[in-house]
Amino acid sequence: MAAAGKLAGETAIVTAAGQGLGEEIAKTFAREGANVAVVDINLTEADRVCAEIKVAGGVAIAFKTDATKKPEVTSMVAAVIAQWGTVDILVNAAGGFHQFAPITEIAEEEWDRVINVNLKSAFLCAQAVAKTMMEKRKGRIISISSGAGVGPNPHAPSYLPYGAGKAGLIGFSKLLARDIGEYGVTVNTVAPGTTLTPRVRKVRDAASIEIIKSRNPMKSLVEPEDCAAAVLFLASKDARYITGVNLNVNAGNIIV
């Protein structure tokens, strides 16, 4: 780790940091000098990421937290503040879904589950850190949306709860940016397209990956570190006057 970096001395919370984009963001932040709360519902994976950060010379603590449960979120944020005195950055990376289905086959319970993990979790975490950030008149809140929240993909099936949750996340962030901007807190979203996370590499074969690449203007797919770099930019001083924006990171796929 560098002795100083773009986030030197900052304290960051990253949800869903036990895998995928959340893991890459947590490790990127640690390399840039932040104290990182590695938050995940799976403590084993959170501990693994935390250990890898420490081996590389970074500072991190793992927290087992269901980000859709207010008591757990409140307890986690309180523990982070007790450890490091503040929260400077929140990254809401929790999200996802596990199946495609037409509207006629989506159960109410499935709708609630997907909306909760993609949207409610961001609300609860933002609410838990807002007071601290507003009081010190400094903070960054960054949520991971998706191209599915910007518009339907003409080349892939849609899944209503996921797209609605990610679209809601963009709207929520714009509204929150307006509400707390006067306190020096910025609120933004990053919307990745299909990203070559370990999970994507596992569920897609080489042929399907090449097809997806061919549909992008840049004929490429985004790597996790590309998304993490975008989040790092929004978390840094370089983006101090950027708020209420959604940054698409998808090799141009959203413009097609």
The catalytic residue positions are: 159
Q: Token digits for 201?
A: 């590499």
Helix segments in the chain, DSSP class H: 20-31, 43-55, 70-84, 108-115, 121-136, 160-180, 198-203, 206-214, 224-235
Q: Token digits for 121?
A: 């979790």
What are the distances in angstroms from CA 110 to CA 100, 144, 165, 239?
Answer: 11, 21, 12, 37
Q: Hey, how many other C-beta atoms are within 10 angstroms of the C-beta on 232?
A: 24
Beta bridge partners of 190: 144, 247
Contact between residue 31 and residue 57 where contact means Cβ atoms under 8 Å apart? no
Distance CA 143, CA 133 (A): 16
Host H or E run for residue 117? none
Residue owning tokens 């599915």: 148
